[in-house]
Structure 1
Amino acid sequence: MSVTWPEQYALSSSTHVPNNILPALIYRDVLPVPVNPELSKRLCEGNGWEKRGEWGEITIPHFHPNTHECYAIIRGSSRLALGRSKEHDAMDGIEVNIRTGDVIVIPAGVSHRSIESEKGFRYIGVYPKAAPRWRNNHCEGDEPMDALCLEISNVPIPDSDPVFGTNGPLCQIWKSARSRTRVKI
């Protein structure tokens, strides 16, 4: 399969959502055909990511400060809100459409939720193999932002892209984003 460069979405922090200097990535129509959970799992696990669940629409805004997360869309479509808490839906972040065959990689700290989904929408959730079990924060401001930002900044960049492996664009894009933010003394 030839490497497809993903869409990139940089998201600024907001009142209750730290987001991340690493952009969210969307790869369009990259899952093996026929699109199903087993082939999608095989692709991602062959590239150093691990399936840890299969879900449908999740409408509660949340983020994971301790791990990056990847959705491989196996059925249907959904409109996602990224980078915002529910009460600030019109003010911060972005909305993106995802559909069967797409893969979205959500950096640690970036909030996400489904706004609306087609009936039967399903995805598998995959995580870097060395990542801890995800921890949910529901964007309510109940944790100090500076502590969250420190935790998020310590989540390592994965060694491999979930779709294209070690030579895939994720590592290059994220290393470049992180190096641009480092202060040189």
Structure 2
Amino acid sequence: MEAKTQTYFFPDDGRIPNHPEYPLVVYQNAIKNTSQAERIVTRHGWSNSWLGSVFPYHHYHSNTHEVLIAVRGEAVIQFGGEKGAVITFKTGDAVVIPAGVGHKKLSSSPDFTDLGAYPGGIQYDMKTGKPDEREEAVKQIKKAALPANDPITGKREPLLEIWVK
């Protein structure tokens, strides 16, 4: 069964820049055996992974894109800043967050755990929307390299087919 994808585009909200071209891509039921999540994304060129949760405040990474996979439990996450989309993220779901797109955990089940990874294992930066970080962050977002592969499928599609139109 192929994962169902949805896309969300977020404009710059003045605090969280979001990405000027790429939408957030949500994959529902992307991974059946979530114990294999790290192995799958690593095989597809996404590494520097971690297991944990999403911070409970708006933040973003200006220098890289990020994949998140819900490996246990569920969470409600807001993407795109204060006026962004509120998405329920359940075990087996994945989301590819373009550089600059804000994300914040609003609530979660006690057992919620997700895996994060980055294309090419890039060491991500951490931005929270402070005015003094904005100018450099906007430059970095535009320079963030396209990943070689979709982290879930290992192919161009669906991610690069969506992003490179």
The TM-score normalised by the length of structure 2 is 0.92
**CA deviation string 1:121-159 (max 9, x = no partner):** 001111111x531100112222234x3222101111111
Tell me the C-alpha RMSD between the 2 structures.
Answer: 1.5
For the pair shown, the structure with the greater C-alpha radius of gyration is: 1
Q: Give the count of matched residue pairs.
A: 164
Equivalent residue number for residue 165 of structure 1: 154
- Per the TM alignment, residue 107 of structure 1 is displaced from its structure 2 partner at its CA by 0.5
One-letter amino acid of the counterpart of residue 66, structure 2:
E
Equivalent residue number for residue 42 of structure 2: 45
Query: Mind listing any 5+ residue stretches in structure 1 that lack a counterpart?
Result: 177-185
Query: Mind listing any 5+ residue stretches in structure 2 that lack a counterpart?
Result: none
In the alignment, does 2:16 pair up with 1:17? Answer: yes
In the alignment, does 2:95 pair up with 1:104? Answer: yes
Contact 2:59 2:104 in 1 (8 A): yes
Tell me which of 42, 51, 63 is aligned to 2:60: 63
In the alignment, does 2:141 pair up with 1:141? Answer: no
Stretches of 4+ aligned residues off by more than 4 angstroms:
none
In the alignment, does 2:77 pair up with 1:80? Answer: yes
Equivalent residue number for residue 154 of structure 1: 143
Equivalent residue number for residue 174 of structure 1: 163
